[in-house]
Amino acid sequence: MRSPSSDEDGQQAITFHGKLGSLQTMKPKVLIFTTGGTIAHRSGQDGVAVMTFNPEELASRIELPDINLGFKQIFDKGSMDIVPDDWKVIAAAAADAISQGPHGVVILHGTDTMHYTAAALSFMLQNLGMPVVLTGSMIPGGDANSDSLHNLRDAIRVAAHSDIAEVCIVFSADPQRRKGVIIRGNRARKLHSHAIDAFVSVNVPPIGYIEDDKIILTQLKINHRKSLKLKLTMDLNQNVVLIKLNPAVTPGMLAQHLQGASGAVLEGTGVGHIKTDLHKAISSFNKPTVISTQTIFGGEHLGSYDVDRLILDVPNIIPAGDMSSETALVKLMWALKQDGNVKSIMKSNVAGEIRDLVSFISTADE
């Protein structure tokens, strides 16, 4: 048990409660944060779910006696209300927990924006030496038929026993909950609004699966556990916009949306195409502008058509490669606050979020 204390910035350290055990125990220790979401709900007699369930109540049913657990509530929010400042709170709490030397950290989170938070943590928690696992549920955690217990149990297994040192999302891999899937946090996407297996890995294989109580890793190259000094980089420029370029968008409309922003992510059509009449508005914006695609899979792939050169010749354009739009948005917020050239940072692989852009574009930064 850790007592409350204050760091140099006056921030109160996290106190965990639960079955942490002594420092001498050989049992792996997993620290679990709750932030609200569906997993913190219970359905009433009228069928309407209310945030009145404490996920710690699931602990007695987890049936993982070889793992010591500690719980701590950060806040109670539906994830549609979680904003970038909340990512910072979660990142700071995770960093404090990591300093206590557990085997891993689990964060219970609403599913609507879980992939945004996971992407943010993947950039904020640099030199990560252990798993930081996000999970939640599609059915209220306090309901008898909830997927919460299955997902939490799998997340704890990954945090305690896997050789993974990344931010990841663990969720049901199929509607029958026969196995769980482990997805790199900045490669995850919620693909279904209410299915049990709502999350998929975009443009890379999942990290692995949990099946029959076993963790099975794929061939995806990952960071493995090691002793590292965590670097917390939480500064964000939140003044970034994400815009879907549908056929009705005019140059005037785009310029209005871009006005006053520090940067933008534009979802082009197909491989990242942008209507020719919009190029001038983007160039006049003259701020970092990442070109992604409205498709889920495949990623931006400009360079296959002659018209692509007109897009790539716009000086402030940054190809997104195979990053998802959501990850590109979060990364741009983060990159704008880092030392160095924003374009170079966006095109660099920081946390497994992007492949080498040489394989995606045929035009360099002339």
Secondary structure, 3-state, 275-305: CHHHHHHHHHHCCCEEEEECCCCCCCCCCCC
Nearest Cα residue to 153 out of 38, 61, 229: 61
- Across the strands, what pairs with 292? 267
Residue whose token pair is 């204050």 = 6
- The count of other CB atoms within 10 Å of the CB of residue 59 is 17
221 and 256 co-located in one domain:
no
pLDDT in the model for residue 20: 41
241-286: pLDDT as tens digits: 999 999 999 999 999 999 999 999 999 999 999 999 999 999 999 9
Q: How far apart are CA 292 and CA 173, in angstroms?
A: 27
User: Which residue stretches of the chain have pLDDT < 50?
Assistant: 1-24, 357-366
Kindly state whether residue 364 falls inside one of the protein's structural domains.
no
pLDDT in the model for residue 356: 60
For residue 29, what are the domain limits?
Answer: 17-232
172 and 223 co-located in one domain:
yes
Asked whether the whole model's pTM tops 0.75, one would answer yes
Kindly state whether residue 6 falls inside one of the protein's structural domains.
no
Domain end (from 195, 213, 232):
232
Q: How far apart are CA 147 and CA 141, in angstroms?
A: 7
Nearest Cα residue to 132 out of 182, 172, 82: 182
Secondary structure, 3-state, 175-233: CCCCEEEEEEHHHEEECCCCCCCCEEECCCCCCEEEECCEEEECCCCCCCCCCCCCEEC
- The count of other CB atoms within 10 Å of the CB of residue 35 is 27
Question: Which residues are designated catalytic?
Answer: 38, 111-112, 190
51 and 104 co-located in one domain:
yes
pLDDT in the model for residue 306: 85
Name the domain count of the chain: 2
Kindly state whether residue 185 falls inside one of the protein's structural domains.
yes
Kindly state whether residue 2 falls inside one of the protein's structural domains.
no
